[in-house]
Every structure is written in C-alpha cells, then in structure tokens.
Amino acid sequence: MKYVTKTFTVELVSDRSDLGAPLRSSEDAFHYARSIYQALDADKEHFLLIVQNNKNRVQGHKVIATGSLTASLVHPREVYTAVLNPEWRAAAIIFVHNHPSGDPQPSQEDIEITRRLKEIADLFGIRVNDHVILGADRYFSFSDRGLL
C-alpha cells in the first residue's frame, strides 16, 4: 500500500494599504488599530500585536487573543511566537487591546502583562514602542504616561 501526502504552503496576504506606514505616536497607533477593531466583536476584548521595522513602519499585525467582556488571556509565548516570525523581522512592536466597557484605564492585570512582555522584548533586543488601550472614542497610552 502506498500513502501519498500532499503538501502546501499558506501565505498571509494583506490588502491593507497602510502596511508600511510609519506609526510614530500613540495617536497613529490608535487610528491604525481602530480600523482593525471595526471588524472585530465589540463586546469582547481582543489583544492585537503590531510589528514594526527599525523605522517604525508597520510590517504586519496579528490578533493574539480574543477573550470575554472583561478579559482576554494573553500569554507571552503566543505574543513572541508571532513577534519572531522571520518574515516580519521585528525591530519594534506595539501592543493594543480594547476595553468593551469604553473606559481605557488600565487594570492591574494590564499593567502586569505589559511589564512582563516588555521584559521579554528587552531580552530579544526588540523595542516596545507602546501599549495602547482602546476605549469609547479615546485611548490610554502606556508610552505617553511614561509607563514603559
């Protein structure tokens, strides 16, 4: 008996015209991420990773985790598996997540996961440019508040 296995490759192709655009401020990251979140369930938390090159140009993005109304489970392993994608060659990253309540103030858990993710990035020599929390037409930036 002969077994035949077909192999194939999967390629991520993005039709976003803003790939390659520089994100130089929390406001830039807010506008970039807001367009992605419009396609996601507004009643759940979603944790997004934005990967940048050395000139802060967007290389790609990935939704890392989707949770419930009040939380999403984000594990550093999942984040850095995406960050270390050889096609992206990340020099810098931005974390974004939303608060369905509309209040973008960080919880203690948000502060803790940001600290852990930044420690790991430092080990890899990757800059964490920001962690932005989206609320109802406003946002909180860890970078703007000096928390990175």
136 part of a folded domain: yes
- List the chain pLDDT tens, one digit each, 148 residues: 666 655 544 444 444 555 688 999 999 999 999 989 988 888 899 999 999 999 999 999 999 999 876 667 899 999 999 999 888 889 999 999 999 999 999 999 999 999 999 999 999 999 999 999 999 989 999 999 999 9
Angle between helices 76-83 and 108-124 (to 10 degrees): 40
Q: Which residues span the domain enclosing 107?
A: 26-141
What kind and span of H or E run contains 146? none
2 part of a folded domain: no
21 part of a folded domain: no
d(CA 143, CA 148): 6
The domain total for the chain is: 1
20 part of a folded domain: no
Pairing of the two strands 92-98 and 58-66: unpaired
CATH of the domain at 32: 3.40.140.10
d(CA 43, CA 35): 16
